[in-house]
Structure 1
């Protein structure tokens, strides 16, 4: 009896690359840079580990790509400057949390102390957040104000990730959003 011909697997470089990035983001968020392995990332993506290296060269380069795909601060800067504080506070405290944004926060928290990942995180934060924020703010103290805004945003993001800011009452969450919005608006000047 003749065997049916096997259907060759369709190759799709873009889909493979996206699967690797998604698996890497998940692993780095769960385990941090130092613990996540190319083998575990490949397993989660359903591919051979050699493909991870073929597409990205190394785990270090894959980590940089995951950080780069996390986006920039530009979406926070879109809109009226006079409404920045309120707009960002609502996004941080009241809008549904996008899992990809939470993953990036976890990656940063779990990997910042790594001798290999720390410099990549700092470079990405400078390029994706502080640089554009400083340019948007302008003025001689833009670097200080950008870092103040960054500290407020990071703190609010961490508090939400830990326990939703500890507030179950919607009215209290609204009050917190107004207070945070005021602090952010003062920071941008």
Structure 2
């Protein structure tokens, strides 16, 4: 996976951003343990020592990647009354691809990175802390109300479960369009019900 085929001018900020983008793509498609600093360096066309100079350890790079992704608050962007529909369409149809560039799409990218790396003992502390601060807490605050923590966990479980299901079934390729529409509709109703209480 080569990010750039043309020589890049010497620009520390541009090189740092290219490393971050390559690392995002790697962590989005591979687990934490499977991503190597040398692989990222090769993707960008730099020496692995440069990555260490800019970011420190692999764990520090992982944290920087998560910080560069949109956080859980972005899932709540838009009218509250169509939250379920927006998220269901994004998950079922991939209307904002999980690893898309930061152009307003890709709101699920950080979540996908967390899910891919949750099995890593090295990444587990980062994943647990990041999941709470970037996903559960913002969702709980946005839902509001006395039982918001319970509704937020149920909604998060549905979102994460369906995101995993999408990955395991290659974008729900085994469903026809009518089945996808039914899946999106049922998921939208369930999510909206949890948000509305």
Common fold, TM-score beyond 0.5? yes
Structure 1 residue runs of 5 or longer lacking an equivalent are 1-8
Q: Please state whether the residue corresponding to 1:116 is helix, strand or coil.
A: helix
> Residue 136 of structure 2 contacts residue 153 of structure 2 at CA under 8 Å; is this kept in 1?
yes
Q: Residues 85, 105 of structure 1: CA spacing in aligned structure 2 closer, same or farther, 3 A cutoff?
A: closer
2:165 to 147, 159, 171: 159
The equivalences for 1:28-67 within 5 A come to 28-67=27-66
Report the counterpart of residue 97 of structure 2 in structure 1. 98
CA distance in 2 between counterparts of 1:137 and 1:60 reads 32
Aligned residue pairs, count: 181
> Residue 24 of structure 1 contacts residue 41 of structure 1 at CA under 8 Å; is this kept in 2?
yes
Report the counterpart of residue 22 of structure 1 in structure 2. 21
TM-score normalized by the length of structure 1? 0.84
CA RMSD between the two structures: 2.1
Q: Which runs of 4+ in 1 moved over 4 A?
A: 101-106
CA distance in 2 between counterparts of 1:90 and 1:113 reads 27
- CA drift of 1:184 comes to 0.5
Q: Residues 68, 44 of structure 1: CA spacing in aligned structure 2 closer, same or farther, 3 A cutoff?
A: same
CA distance in 1 between counterparts of 2:146 and 2:12 reads 46
CA distance in 1 between counterparts of 2:141 and 2:14 reads 35
The C-alpha deviation readout for 1:110-163, integer Å capped at 9, x for no partner, is 421222211111111112111111111112221121111111111111122222
- CA drift of 1:106 comes to 5.1
- CA drift of 1:99 comes to 4.6
Report the counterpart of residue 3 of structure 1 in structure 2. none
TM-score normalized by the length of structure 2? 0.81
